[in-house]
Amino acid sequence: MISGSLTALVTPFKNNKVDADAYQAFVDWQIRSGTNGLVPCGTTGEASTLSKEEHVHVIRLCVEAANGQVPVIAGIGSNNTRSAVRMAGEAQKCSVDAVLAVAPYYNKPSQEGMFQHFQAIAQAIDIDIILYNIPGRSIVDIDLETMGRLAEIPNIIGLKDATSDLARVSDYKAVCGDDFIQLSGDDPTALSHWAHGGSGCISVASNVAPAQCAELHKLCAAGEFTKARILHEKLDRLFKDLFLDASPAPTKYALNALGKMQAEVRLPIIECRESTKEAVVSAMKMAGVEI
C-alpha cells in the first residue's frame, strides 16, 4: 500500500542538464534512510520546466534506482488532457507503480470538466492514479461530489490533498470509502492529517530529512501521537523554512549543503536569499540533520 513518508523528489541539475548520477545516488540515499515511496516529476521536481524527454528520463532514472524497493508515483499532471494522457502512458512504460495527476491549472475547468479529465487519464492506462488537489496553485478545487465520482473509477485509488483543510479527511472517507488512500500534501499538517484518518504525506521536507520524516510517519502509523508530536516540533521549522523562497530553491540549497547535488534551479525559480539560507541551516540543525 502507498503510505507513510513519500518524498516529492527534487530534480538535480548541473550546467542546465539533469544530473543523472546525482539523482540516482539521491534516490538510493532516500531509500536507505527509510523513505516509503518516491514521487519524481512533481512541482518540487520542477516538472513544469522539464522537456518531455527530460520528464521521461527522470522517471526512468527513478524507477531504475528504486529497483522495486519502494513504490514510485510519477507526476504526469498537465492542464492539457491529451498531454497528461500521453505522459501517463510514458510513465506506465517506465514501470512506475502509479501516477500523480493534478487538477488542471489555469484553465479553470468545471467540476464535470475535471471529472472527464481524470477519467480520460484513467481509461488510457492500466496502473493506479493518485489525484492531486491543490487549489492554491491550480485555482480550481475538486469538490466532494466529484471526488466521490472519481473514487468509483477502479484505478483511481487515492488523493494527495494540499488544501490544509483537515475536515476533508472525514468527508472524503464518507464519500470515497475507507480504502481510498488519503495523503497530505503539506508537511506541517501531516501529523494532524494522520490523526483524522490519513495515511501519509507526499513531503518536501523528506528530501532533506528523510530519516526523521520516515520516523514521524512510522510513529503516526503506530498511533504513537505523543512521540510523533515531539518529533514534529523538531521538524516544524524545516517544514516551513523550506518555503521562505520559491520552492524548491531552499530545498536544493539544503541538499547542496549536505553534498547531495548542486543548488541549481531553472527560471522562473531563482536561488534563495542569504537570509533564507541561514534560516534553512538553522532549521536543519533543529531537525537533527547533520551538516
- pLDDT tens for 122-147 read 999 999 999 999 999 999 999 999 99
- Fold of domain 4-211: TIM Barrel (3.20.20)
Residue type, 65: A
23, 52, 106, 132: the catalytic one is 132
Residue 17 among the catalytic residues? no
Amino acid at 204: V
Question: Which residue ranges of the chain lie beneath pLDDT 50?
Answer: none
Q: Is 240 considered catalytic here?
A: no
Quote the percentage of the chain above a pLDDT of 70: 100
pLDDT tens digits, 50-104: 999 999 999 999 999 999 999 999 999 899 999 999 999 999 999 999 999 999 9
- Asked whether the beta carbons of 98 and 73 are under 8 A apart, the reply is yes
Identify the pLDDT of residue 142: 97
Cis peptide before 248 (omega within 30 of 0): yes
Q: Domain map of the chain by residue range?
A: 4-211
* Catalytic entry in 23, 108, 160, 173: 160
Question: Model-level pTM greater than 0.85?
Answer: yes
Beta-bridge mates of residue 181: 158
